[in-house]
Structure 1
Amino acid sequence: MKNESHAELAHALWPDAKQAPVKLLECRHCGRRNRVQVSRAILDPHHCECGACGEPLFLAPGEPLTGIASSAYEHPLDRTTLAALKGIPGFPTLIRWVMTQLGERSLRLLNLSSAVLCGDDQFPELVALLERSRQSLDLGLRPTLFLSESPHINAATFGSEEPWVMIHSGLLDQLDDTEVVSVMGHELGHMHAEHGLYRMVAVVMASGTQLLGTVGQVLSFPLQKALYKWMRCSELTADRAGLLACRDLGASLHVLMKLAGGSRPGITRRTKMQLAPFIRQARTLAKLEEDNWFDGLLATLMTMDSSHPFVAWRVMHLLEWVEHGNYLEILAGHYERAKRPAAA
């Protein structure tokens, strides 16, 4: 599927150009505040220059977001649901139990036993895409990369001390390289935000109370629901990281559309999936939830047992961040930096 041109994407996102949002962005070179149309900043950032000094307003494509903290792009729902999760009685006990009984070693051994370990001599092309994402986000830690056979568009990240990324082969069938970079950035966002430990606990919880024994029987229900709620919200943070890694809104949106409808031969030989109707679908969802609280409640109930939110909900939140959040401020070099260790 050939992605839209900049003009087609602009029309898909903002059919009425006059209604495209506008932001005030400070030039990192001279401090002058510039009024920038979001559509131009997103689709043609190379030609956005400061009106005072003439320097580029935005970082160059692929230029690292030096020292960026995960909190700079963390979704508020991720932060609040994780805080609520940590406050549930019994959660610290479960964390200690999982790390004592399982740790990360068992899951890593499972990957080594059933998937392909990628490196310089095994699928270096895929490793290069991961490295491209890692450098864009300026992450020092290099995760291990595994390739797993599966027809589904999917990827996963686990581990905290020695994190790894698992890519499903079906993803490579349906996404181009820029879209794969977006997925890689999504997974690295989980790693950067230190989601790995809690996601591993969620996997253990989902495996049932037999694995957890008596502890699981007592704690599983409230913790499992709280873990799933947090996992759904953590995906919104990771989606932002994916966009920051590829810096191509069209690619990130196409990934989400393909997650919803796929891009298999039976689809591509019949039609070209259009992004504009899909975006209208997400904006319709946003309006329904805004106008009627019961629709939002229904969505919550329908996803209660799911680790991922509805795709259209993810599109809605990503677009809201691009249009009204701090996405462009980050690309303009204004973001929270991670604290560096004090010198000895």
Structure 2
Amino acid sequence: MYIPKTLLIGLKADDFRHPLDFQATQALKQMPGLDIAVRNLLGPVAEQFFYLNNIASSVLVGEQQLPHLHKLLLEACSVLDLEPPQLYIQQNPIPNAYTFAMRGKQPFMVIHTSLIEMLTPEEIQAVMAHELGHLKCDHGVYLTLANLLVLAAGLLPNWGTILAQSLQERMLEWLRCAEFSCDRAALLAVQDPRVVMSVLMKLSGGSPTLSPLLNLDAFIEQARAYDEISKTELGEMLKAAQTQQLTHPVPVLRAREIDRWASSQEYQTLLEKRKKEYNQKTEKMGGWRNW
């Protein structure tokens, strides 16, 4: 059953940005010349590369092309108070979605067909909102570099010897931290933590046939078991080694973070504050509207 969502008019990135994202971003800003190098040197080339790739091998979603997906995107943008980016659907057997955005340029997101095939419409919208979180948090410059590093990893197996090791480690750490903020954006858009956690569960062990059979409560309990490992020094070391080269935090950790934030006073206060402001504005306009 569809539940109307509170439109978060005036929502700012710092209203929901995860503390780890803030800390990691501040650390990157301390690296001299990094922002300028990406924006003026790497950015324009990467922008053209990804744009041409999308035009050549993806489908641009719109009112006349997969309109049901277009509607999900517009609704998520309305809730998050954000201008809609372009949305491309790409045939790919690896479930994934990513965003590209340089300031002042046309942002876009790409979702792979294999991801869409195993998610419900609400879960697809949560994925879209997660990607919108990158735009809302202005992750564009560093996200560009992160995407290039991931691309280089596929094309150049020994990329770690070409790029400075410290930059590689910092960028991966930043990307993992940024994902927590984007998960929060997904929650704000769908306003149901179980939808977001279900996406993470299906990314862990889902498929078009298995996804409907998965048990979300069992997955949440699994996340608690992951926490138990941290109670020993060896367990904490093993977890750190496991995640050091990952672009995303492990799904159970992301699910735990969303579960905690959804239960927090911070989240509830944010929704109530935005709902009150929205109601005041719509009353002045002589009407009241919700998605």
Q: TM-score w.r.t. structure 2 length?
A: 0.84
Displacement of 1:284 after TM fit?
2.0
Displacement of 1:296 after TM fit?
3.0
SS in 1 for 2:263: helix
Which residue of structure 2 lines up, in the alignment, with residue 154 of structure 1?
96
Q: Is the 8 A contact 1:147 1:168 kept in 2?
A: yes
Q: Is the 8 A contact 2:172 2:247 kept in 1?
A: yes
Which residue of structure 2 lines up, in the alignment, with residue 165 of structure 1?
109
Cα pair distance change 1:298/1:105, threshold 3 Å: same
Which residue of structure 2 lines up, in the alignment, with residue 327 of structure 1?
267
Cα pair distance change 1:325/1:220, threshold 3 Å: farther
Which residue of structure 2 lines up, in the alignment, with residue 253 of structure 1?
197
SS in 2 for 1:165: strand
- Unaligned 5+ segments in structure 2 are 278-291
Matched, 1:88 2:28: no
Matched, 1:177 2:116: no
Cα separation, 2, equivalents of 1:207 and 1:261: 24
Q: Identity of counterpart residues, as a percentage?
A: 34
Matched, 1:305 2:245: yes
Displacement of 1:147 after TM fit?
0.4
Counterpart code for 1:125? H
SS in 2 for 1:146: strand
Q: Could you report, residue by residue, the CA deviation over 1:147-178 in whole angstroms, capped at 9, with x for unpaired residues?
A: 00012332111112211011111122111111
Which residue of structure 2 lines up, in the alignment, with residue 278 of structure 1?
219
Matched, 1:197 2:141: yes
Cα separation, 2, equivalents of 1:275 and 1:206: 30
Counterpart code for 1:167? I
When the two chains are superposed, the root-mean-square deviation of aligned CA atoms in Å is: 2.6
Which residue of structure 1 lines up, in the alignment, with residue 80 of structure 2?
137
Residues paired across the two proteins, number: 269
Cα separation, 2, equivalents of 1:93 and 1:249: 37
Q: Is the 8 A contact 1:61 1:247 kept in 2?
A: no
1:99 aligns with one of 43, 52, 60: 43
Q: Is the 8 A contact 1:205 1:220 kept in 2?
A: no
Counterpart code for 1:288? I
Which residue of structure 1 lines up, in the alignment, with residue 70 of structure 2?
127
Which residue of structure 2 lines up, in the alignment, with residue 234 of structure 1?
178
Q: Is the 8 A contact 1:90 1:219 kept in 2?
A: no
SS in 2 for 1:333: helix
Which residue of structure 1 lines up, in the alignment, with residue 288 of structure 2?
none
Displacement of 1:198 after TM fit?
1.1
Cα pair distance change 1:94/1:262, threshold 3 Å: same
Q: Is the 8 A contact 2:223 2:253 kept in 1?
A: yes
1:186 aligns with one of 130, 154, 160: 130
Cα pair distance change 1:162/1:176, threshold 3 Å: same
Displacement of 1:217 after TM fit?
6.3
Displacement of 1:90 after TM fit?
5.2
Q: Is the 8 A contact 1:133 1:245 kept in 2?
A: yes
Cα pair distance change 1:92/1:177, threshold 3 Å: closer
Q: Is the 8 A contact 2:73 2:128 kept in 1?
A: yes
Displacement of 1:320 after TM fit?
1.5
- Unaligned 5+ segments in structure 1 are 6-59, 338-344
SS in 2 for 1:306: coil
Q: Is the 8 A contact 2:123 2:195 kept in 1?
A: yes
Cα separation, 1, equivalents of 2:26 and 2:33: 14
| Match runs of 1:23-62 below 5 Å | 61-62=4-5
Cα separation, 2, equivalents of 1:138 and 1:312: 29
Larger Rg: 1
SS in 2 for 1:104: helix
Q: Could you report, residue by residue, the CA deviation over 1:177-196 in whole angstroms, capped at 9, with x for unpaired residues?
A: 11111111111111111112
Q: Is the 8 A contact 1:91 1:223 kept in 2?
A: no
Q: TM-score w.r.t. structure 1 length?
A: 0.72
Counterpart code for 2:97? A
Cα separation, 2, equivalents of 1:217 and 1:278: 38
Q: Is the 8 A contact 1:157 1:163 kept in 2?
A: yes
Which residue of structure 2 lines up, in the alignment, with residue 316 of structure 1?
256
Matched, 1:287 2:245: no
Q: Is the 8 A contact 2:87 2:108 kept in 1?
A: yes
Which residue of structure 1 lines up, in the alignment, with residue 20 of structure 2?
77
Cα separation, 1, equivalents of 2:32 and 2:240: 23
